Structure 1
Amino acid sequence: MVLKSLSEEDRAKARAKALVARTRRAEVKNSFGGGRLGIAELLDLARTDEAVGRLRVADLLESVPGVGSVRAAALMERIGISANRRLRGLGRKQQEALLAHFADTPPHQKK
């Protein structure tokens, strides 16, 4: 596959777009980890916001205080979520399992 060569202007636009997406994902992870954004709102947001939909589930879980890569991987394995899965790619049962895990408690209180 041959990639189209981009002009400097196109590269600058792509860099700016990527920066906006990374910033948006960082904001969402901070809000979720701080308990200001619940999992239900986050899953709804992932359907409409492309940047949020492309957030890896493992990265999201690791944003919760006390949850590192080992706990996130264990939770994802128990639920049946692939290590590379992004929020937009979650199935109905996987979403329901995440909702049940974080049910009625702020994310920072759940381990």
Structure 2
Amino acid sequence: MTEKDNKKEFYFNLFLNKIPTSNIELKKFSRSFLTLKEYNKKEFLYNSGEIQKEVGFVCQGLLRKYYVNEKGSEINTGFISENGFATDYPSFLRQKPSKYHIQCLEPTIIVKIPYEKLQ
């Protein structure tokens, strides 16, 4: 197993251990559709106007969620830290464009879960 595979396995396990089930088959199935993505500081996980097709579990890092008001000012609505979920839930659940940006404030590692697999 490569170092990259070990890292992926570590973060997938970190996420899967948060699922309140002892069902091994469910966890094995879940692992098959998870993806791991690394982001740099100031990089965007999601942008306003996008439909969020996946939810992100923050394994490492810190993000901010904000929108831009009519005057062009950035208005922070929250911060997402490790072990939190980075998404605009209404956009994700309804599969409608989001009004929020979600931006990394430091190097960040996210496990992504696709919308269609949660249906």
Fold-level similarity (TM above 0.5): no
Q: Normalization by structure 1: what TM-score? A: 0.31
- Normalized per residue, the structure richer in strand is 2
- When Rg is computed on C-alpha atoms for both structures, the one with the higher figure is 1
- Normalized per residue, the structure richer in helix is 1
**Greater relative contact order structure (CA < 8 Å, 6+ sep):** 2
